[in-house]
Amino acid sequence: MGKSTFGNIFTVTTWGESHGKALGAVIDGCPAGLPLSEEDIQKYLDRRKPGQSRFTTARKEGDLAEILSGVFEGKTTGTPISVIVRNTDQRSRDYGNLATSYRPGHADYTFDQKYGIRDYRGGGRSSGRETIGRTAAGAIAAKILNELGIRFCTYSKSIGPVSISEFHPDEINNNAFYMPDAGAAAAAGAYLEECMKTHDSAGGVIECRITGVPAGLGDPVFDKLDAALARAVMSIGAVKAVEIGDGIQVSSMNGSTDNDGFCNKNGSIQKTSNHAGGIMGGISDGSEIILRAAIKPTPSISQPQQTVSKDGKNISLEIHGRHDPVIVPRAVVVVESMCALTLVDALFSNMSARIDKIKDFYTFMR
Amino acid sequence: MGKSTFGNIFTVTTWGESHGKALGAVIDGCPAGLPLSEEDIQKYLDRRKPGQSRFTTARKEGDLAEILSGVFEGKTTGTPISVIVRNTDQRSRDYGNLATSYRPGHADYTFDQKYGIRDYRGGGRSSGRETIGRTAAGAIAAKILNELGIRFCTYSKSIGPVSISEFHPDEINNNAFYMPDAGAAAAAGAYLEECMKTHDSAGGVIECRITGVPAGLGDPVFDKLDAALARAVMSIGAVKAVEIGDGIQVSSMNGSTDNDGFCNKNGSIQKTSNHAGGIMGGISDGSEIILRAAIKPTPSISQPQQTVSKDGKNISLEIHGRHDPVIVPRAVVVVESMCALTLVDALFSNMSARIDKIKDFYTFMR
Amino acid sequence: MGKSTFGNIFTVTTWGESHGKALGAVIDGCPAGLPLSEEDIQKYLDRRKPGQSRFTTARKEGDLAEILSGVFEGKTTGTPISVIVRNTDQRSRDYGNLATSYRPGHADYTFDQKYGIRDYRGGGRSSGRETIGRTAAGAIAAKILNELGIRFCTYSKSIGPVSISEFHPDEINNNAFYMPDAGAAAAAGAYLEECMKTHDSAGGVIECRITGVPAGLGDPVFDKLDAALARAVMSIGAVKAVEIGDGIQVSSMNGSTDNDGFCNKNGSIQKTSNHAGGIMGGISDGSEIILRAAIKPTPSISQPQQTVSKDGKNISLEIHGRHDPVIVPRAVVVVESMCALTLVDALFSNMSARIDKIKDFYTFMR
Amino acid sequence: MGKSTFGNIFTVTTWGESHGKALGAVIDGCPAGLPLSEEDIQKYLDRRKPGQSRFTTARKEGDLAEILSGVFEGKTTGTPISVIVRNTDQRSRDYGNLATSYRPGHADYTFDQKYGIRDYRGGGRSSGRETIGRTAAGAIAAKILNELGIRFCTYSKSIGPVSISEFHPDEINNNAFYMPDAGAAAAAGAYLEECMKTHDSAGGVIECRITGVPAGLGDPVFDKLDAALARAVMSIGAVKAVEIGDGIQVSSMNGSTDNDGFCNKNGSIQKTSNHAGGIMGGISDGSEIILRAAIKPTPSISQPQQTVSKDGKNISLEIHGRHDPVIVPRAVVVVESMCALTLVDALFSNMSARIDKIKDFYTFMR
């Protein structure tokens, strides 16, 4: 499998560097007949674009999506969908000492160790701009899921030390942090102002809730749905932990408090609680899927930091220019996108789980 | 890719049910010329076998590994290695109401929803015995890594509410919990005695530290080394969270406290701290890799639990028989195995990262 | 993907050497609910077993299939099906100079070059016995296809210079060569008698015809159905050419004679000819799929042959023991098996080709 | 694996329709440090571009390659290389009855059956223009192989009934058919003139010879090098047969005439003949790899042909416009490209075949 390809049946291959000519994604295995426009993709990209508030970088990147293939007369054709986003600002510029020094918290050193060469302009392939391709693909995946009644609710659960204490879904799009709690959002803003004054940055936690997922998705061993989600979300640059359901808390719980009972409610079997976060034995159980990702603080800070130059000299590095003091808000749609990509693949994979349903499917075709 | 297959170049395919005739694994892509015996595998299997202490189930399964292919005159030949472990105790028995009721915390319900049929004997494919195949493969992966100077130190960091406060690697194999802290192990034992009295169970946290990993393993986007590790470890039955380095803590740290600086120490570039847990931008940085997994409490408890029968009746279920009050100790080697499998694959994948090294490789061959 | 694994959704992983303890296959991605017994598999294995006539080796291998997992109460459960065939005759014996010399037409030399070590007993992994795993898996694939009305007719089209001139399907199982022409079978027998007298061997052509395949299987670019079939069949040891439909003949035809017209027959669209062999643009067109494989003569002959020893000395080698003077008849079921495996995978892959059918599928599930 | 993705380690994902905005390829897994320019790719594209002679369509497509990512300061960086070719002529035009009728010999019918929707403009995804992406990727693969001393010689062996009788490599680029025999090329030209007069088309055979391939590439079972090559080449639109070495002829040969002996020539082990075409047991043996592909006649001919309309009416169809009377010459570079892609993948895969070489590789890295 290509190293920049995600998925088994519904796949996305991303490409592009921060300051190259363009970035993009090829989405393959998308079913034919899905209505799809550039606006569908743009809506997702706009959720991760810079300049949304004073807490995100002021860089002006239009990040306009163009579809180059795979859509005909407003519908997908079943062939690969190529989406491209041109980098508008490519003028030659001074990259300072990016070429010759290793920024703490970044991948400069490891890229050099692995490849012996590195596109140092703005982080190159390891830039956060790499998530443009994921998000474009996620928009398509989410559109497919939407057709099947599956809905996402993704938001910042905490920014630095500030956690939400209330949950109002309608509030999520009303503040700069995509928090479902206006009070927490205000406190997060105040905290970030302090960080900016000290030339520092903050992290946070993103939570993704998915409803309408039918029971039966995921496979019992290595392709457990939670394993696939964990890989998908951990592959986002700044994520350092992934939790499902009660997550880390289960380690200090007891069987009697962690187990979800079952009951028959008006003829449908339901769980009496959802500590498991909607996945049992790696397979979706029909209840809400709940996932959290811990995002590290933006590594680019303008404080002096100890590091080394490429030729091995100990130096003190200050990173100038505007950088996001927190990337959590912009990463919300990226987490959602990776979950959507994972779910679509699981949905398609599950279609061949039972011989009776396969027979129905092909009988119906004739 | 097969749903029961793990890995891209070095792969393992596992098979088998808890109470079927046997369980096993086919390990493919193993390099030729590696000395390998059944004892190498048995040592790993013995670390997960039942009956090691009074805190693990007393079931007597020998779990003896037999190699059926891929090894000739004591060395691997490069062809698939088939390892089989016979289930010794297969007599027909009374499985009580396992066939007709859904145990809380188990995959009974989701298997039925997905497949419409379920081998209910002892959990079938979703039993913890499925990890036998992983562990056999992990033993081979670890042997390869050992040849390259890569070493594992894996242990229980906490059992229920009891966490280690000291770290003595030599202690790990001295107590029933594989804890590097004798005091914590004693406290964990006391805690579990209480759990057993109340017919309850406990979870815990496993930590895996890997040294000797060269910089450069892992790929920058979807196949980040941490993403691959997260998927590998989250695919183990009871794991509900995976952390790398500082993990969940990074969400409330600042850039200035989370970033690892670099320095030149006697001519070699090293990091001044290791908050990142040995992986930067998805690529190993040459320092220790640190990973934690949160394990949920054993779901089989003999308290009455609310659930439903297969035909939808609300019932109260009591699960009898001896069950592990905690599976954390037996899962230690499984976590290590999954990390070893992931690393071997990353090592092999990395061999084609640079054209100069490829040329050296093939020039040397001629 | 594992090097000994075939398929994307329905996969088979084979393992085992000619004179090891056993050979086998793990079949994964098999839908749940399929009735399956060891007899189903044995029927296929019996078609490739030795000793069927005086033109096949007299070695007595029972080749009895045992199912170790994945089947419960007579039905598949959706989990991996492990099939094992024990090698009954493993006594230590004299392998002559097999260990130290390179047999012409065999893989001895290339295995040594690749791996630096080789299980020389009876060809090891490169023995024709490797096809046992393929055939066991093929039996399961064929059973699935059968449920959907897909039927195979596979036979020897030629043995050495003797080609069939008539086509009587009922005759196929009446002669030692699986030829649909009794006269040709008699002539083939006479030809082989001559070969045996001169200590020589023969090849032949196998043809596989598949009916009942719905239009729409296969993907338009790299995963064309014909490309997948070609790979599947060319991966059988002795195959040196694969043709689809008119095959090699198309190179000297004209567009006007090679194109298949379409017509409406009683409301169904059909082709007026089938030069394409049932596949257009890589996708099945609903007509009969026709494939041919050219099989090389058995390389083991007891004439003296020029070769070298492992340490580079020029030697003359005579291979003793009974060997098949022709392997074509025994390869018939192997070709059929590889085609069946390919088709099942294409069937499952095709289920997510259209959003309207996906919606129907999941609506029906609720 | 994505359906439009080829390869396991070195992968190419192609996208684009004949009359869409653009076509392209994403090449991933390319080693870092390879010098690469747009000219390298253009040279390959020019070998397949239209308008090279009066026997190829006069359509004027510049087919100019642009590299959008993965190359920095003239060298590959190890990240995905995105190559795009804009379609210059996209004006809205009359596609006649292409939208509503099924052309014989084309994929119109099967696309409609599979997807229920079809980009009918110029064949859409099933157009020969799809090979632009393969060829761009093939140019990169060939450049890697070139660094390792591997060379291709690919040419038309026959055009319609006209086969080469001499072999002068220098002649290949001197005639419109890429034939290594000027006399045959002249005869082919005369034959095609006749075809064009009768509004008909011709096919042919392409042969690819590869020298410098080290012994040891390919894997023994499903991933045999010949199986991989067969799949790669059969996935090209018009190919209906693939042969390795003596190919179809082996079916009527004897073991004594088909087996290649070995001899020691001045200290190096060589084969005394090459009936096998450089591959034994699926593994390269160090001698020349020889492969042939049978190409069908261009299906677009301006004779009236019997077919049906999309709504099922029997009609007579005449296809107007200029079409290649033979596509064989333009397909030569496509066959070469697919073989190059296959070989690069096999080269990289082979690097982890032996533990001793892996140890050398990683020891050298430290």
Tens digit of each residue's pLDDT (9 = 90 or more) over A66-96: 999 999 999 999 999 999 999 986 555 667 7
Residue A182 identity (one-letter amino acid):
A
Total CB pairs under 8 A between chain B and C: 164
**Tens-digit pLDDT profile for residues A248-287:** 999 999 999 999 999 999 999 999 999 999 999 999 999 9
Nearest-Cα residue of chain D relative to residue A113: D365
Q: Which residues of A touch D79 (CB under 8 A)?
A: 4, 15, 17, 119, 124-125
Interface touch C119/B7, C-beta < 8 Å:
no
Q: Which residues of C touch A216 (CB under 8 A)?
A: 365
User: Which chains border C (3 or more CB–CB pairs < 8 Å)?
Assistant: A, B, D
- Residue D351 CA to residue B78 CA, distance in Å, equals 12
**Tens-digit pLDDT profile for residues C270-316:** 999 999 999 999 999 999 999 999 999 999 999 999 999 999 999 99
Within 8 A by CB and 6+ apart from B248, the residues are A205, A240, A241, A243, A248, A294, B241
The pair phi, psi for residue D208, each rounded to 5°, is: -125, 125
Other C-beta atoms within 10 Å of D164: how many? 24
Interface touch D32/A116, C-beta < 8 Å:
yes
Q: Which residues of B touch C69 (CB under 8 A)?
A: 15-17, 20-23
ipTM: 0.97
Cα-only R_g, chain C: 22
Interface touch A3/B221, C-beta < 8 Å:
yes
Predicted pLDDT of residue D319: 86
| Model pTM score | 0.97
Higher-pLDDT residue of A62 and A143 is A143
Higher-pLDDT residue of D183 and A49 is D183
- For D266-275, the CB contacts below 8 A with 24+ separation are D267/C312, D269/C102, D269/C109, D269/C308, D269/C312, D272/C306, D274/D245, D275/D245, D275/D246, D275/D250
Q: What angle do CA A117, A118, A124 make, to 5 degrees?
A: 160
How many CA within 13 A on the CB side of residue D207?
A: 20
The helix/strand count (H/E) of chain A reads as 8, 18
Provide the shortest C-alpha distance from residue B174 to chain D (in Å). 33
Q: Which residues of A touch B227 (CB under 8 A)?
A: 230-232, 234-235
Within 8 A by CB and 6+ apart from D161, the residues are C252, D191
Q: Are D57 and A115 in contact (CB under 8 A)?
A: no
- Residue C50 CA to residue C69 CA, distance in Å, equals 27
Q: Which residues of D touch A69 (CB under 8 A)?
A: 15-17, 20-23
* CA distances to C269, C270, C272 from C266, in Å: 8, 10, 14
Residue ranges of chain A whose CB lies within 8 Å of a chain C CB: 1, 8-10, 29, 31-34, 76, 78-79, 144, 147-148, 214, 216, 220, 347-349, 351-362, 364-366
Provide the shortest C-alpha distance from residue B225 to chain C (in Å). 18
Predicted pLDDT of residue C93: 67
Return the closest-CA partner of residue B204 out of B188, B193, B190, B181.
Answer: B188
What crossing angle do the helices spanning C38-48 and C131-147 adopt, rounded to 10°?
A: 130
Predicted pLDDT of residue D358: 96
Provide the shortest C-alpha distance from residue C341 to chain D (in Å). 12
As a residue count, chain D comes to: 366
Of all residues in chain D, what percent carry a pLDDT higher than 90?
A: 88
**Tens-digit pLDDT profile for residues C221-279:** 999 999 999 999 999 999 999 999 999 999 999 999 999 999 999 999 999 999 999 99
Predicted pLDDT of residue A90: 59
As a residue count, chain A comes to: 366
Q: Are C34 and C76 in contact (CB under 8 A)?
A: yes
Provide the shortest C-alpha distance from residue B276 to chain A (in Å). 8
Residue B264, helix vs strand vs coil = strand
User: Which chains border A (3 or more CB–CB pairs < 8 Å)?
Assistant: B, C, D
- Residue A94 CA to residue A139 CA, distance in Å, equals 35
Q: How confident is the model at residue A50 (pLDDT cuts 50, 70, 90)?
A: confident
Q: Mutation test of the interface with chain A: which of C355, C363, C365, C366, choosing the one with the most A Cβ atoms within 10 A? A: C355
Residue A69 identity (one-letter amino acid):
S
Within 8 A by CB and 6+ apart from B46, the residues are B63
Q: Mutation test of the interface with chain C: which of A40, A352, A363, choosing the one with the most C Cβ atoms within 10 A? A: A352
Predicted pLDDT of residue C91: 59
Interface touch B104/A282, C-beta < 8 Å:
no
Interface touch B124/C79, C-beta < 8 Å:
yes
The pair phi, psi for residue D185, each rounded to 5°, is: -60, -40
Q: Mutation test of the interface with chain C: which of D235, D240, D356, choosing the one with the most C Cβ atoms within 10 A? A: D240
How many CA within 13 A on the CB side of residue C10?
A: 29
Interface touch B355/D33, C-beta < 8 Å:
yes
Terminal-residue alpha carbon distance, chain A: 34
* CA distances to A266, C168, C242, D280 from C180, in Å: 62, 5, 20, 31
Nearest to C353 among A31, A352, A356 (CB): A31
Nearest to D15 among A22, A70, A78 (CB): A70
User: Which chains border B (3 or more CB–CB pairs < 8 Å)?
Assistant: A, C, D
Residue B108 identity (one-letter amino acid):
D
Helices (H), D235-353: 255-258, 328-349
Instruction: Specify the range with the lowest mean pLDDT, choosing from A183-192, A229-238, C91-100, C324-333.
Output: C91-100
Interface touch C69/B16, C-beta < 8 Å:
yes
Provide the shortest C-alpha distance from residue B256 to chain D (in Å). 30
* CA distances to A300, B53, B184, B192, D270 from B176, in Å: 45, 6, 11, 12, 60
Q: Which residues of A touch C358 (CB under 8 A)?
A: 31, 144, 147-148, 347-348, 351
Q: Which residues pair with A85 in a beta bridge?
A: A23, A65
Q: pLDDT averaged over chain B?
A: 94
As a residue count, chain B comes to: 366
Can you tell me which residue has the tokens 């007719």?
C153
Instruction: Specify the range with the lowest mean pLDDT, choosing from A66-75, A177-186, B80-89.
Output: B80-89
How deeply is B329 buried, as exposed, middle or buried, from its count of CB atoms within 10 A (0-12, 13-18, 19+)?
Answer: buried
**Which parts of chain D have pLDDT scores under 70?**
1, 57-61, 89-94, 364-366
**Tens-digit pLDDT profile for residues A94-106:** 677 888 999 999 9
- What the block records as the tokens of D86 is 């804009």
Mean pLDDT of B100-121: 95
Within 8 A by CB and 6+ apart from B21, the residues are B86, B87, B90, C66, C68, C69
Taken in order C178, C182, C187, C190, the sign of the CA dihedral is positive
B364, pLDDT greater than 90: no
Total CB pairs under 8 A between chain B and D: 96
Nearest to C15 among B7, B69, B115 (CB): B69
- What the block records as the tokens of D358 is 């892996």
Buried b (16+ CB within 10 A) or exposed e, A317-329: bebeeebbbbbbb
Higher-pLDDT residue of C58 and D258 is D258
- Residue B131 CA to residue B116 CA, distance in Å, equals 24
Residue C245, helix vs strand vs coil = coil
Interface touch B31/D76, C-beta < 8 Å:
no
- Residue D272 CA to residue D265 CA, distance in Å, equals 10
- What the block records as the tokens of A169 is 């879904």
Interface touch A105/B260, C-beta < 8 Å:
yes
Buried b (16+ CB within 10 A) or exposed e, D113-142: bbbbbbbbbbbbbbbbbbbbbbbbbbbbbb
- Residue C106 CA to residue C323 CA, distance in Å, equals 14
Pairing of strands D314-317, D268-271: unpaired
Nearest to D362 among B33, B214, B362 (CB): B214
Q: Which residues of B touch D76 (CB under 8 A)?
A: 355
Interface touch A296/B250, C-beta < 8 Å:
yes
Nearest to B255 among A105, A252, A256 (CB): A105
Of all residues in chain A, what percent carry a pLDDT higher than 70?
A: 96
Q: Which residues pair with C159 in a beta bridge?
A: C162, C204
Predicted pLDDT of residue B55: 78
Q: Are B78 and C17 in contact (CB under 8 A)?
A: no
**Tens-digit pLDDT profile for residues B136-192:** 999 999 999 999 999 999 999 999 999 999 999 999 999 999 999 999 999 999 999
Predicted pLDDT of residue C88: 84
- What the block records as the tokens of D308 is 């049906």
As a residue count, chain C comes to: 366
- What the block records as the tokens of C189 is 């027998």
A223, pLDDT greater than 60: yes
- Residue C298 CA to residue B103 CA, distance in Å, equals 57
Return the closest-CA partner of residue B148 out of D363, D233, D32.
Answer: D363
Nearest to A365 among C34, C214, C366 (CB): C214
Within 8 A by CB and 6+ apart from B197, the residues are none
Task: Report CA C209 to chain centroid distance, whole Å.
Answer: 13
Return the closest-CA partner of residue C254 out of D5, D197, D109, B179.
Answer: D197
E-only strand ranges, C63-217: 65-67, 71-72, 75-76, 81-86, 151-159, 162-163, 204-211
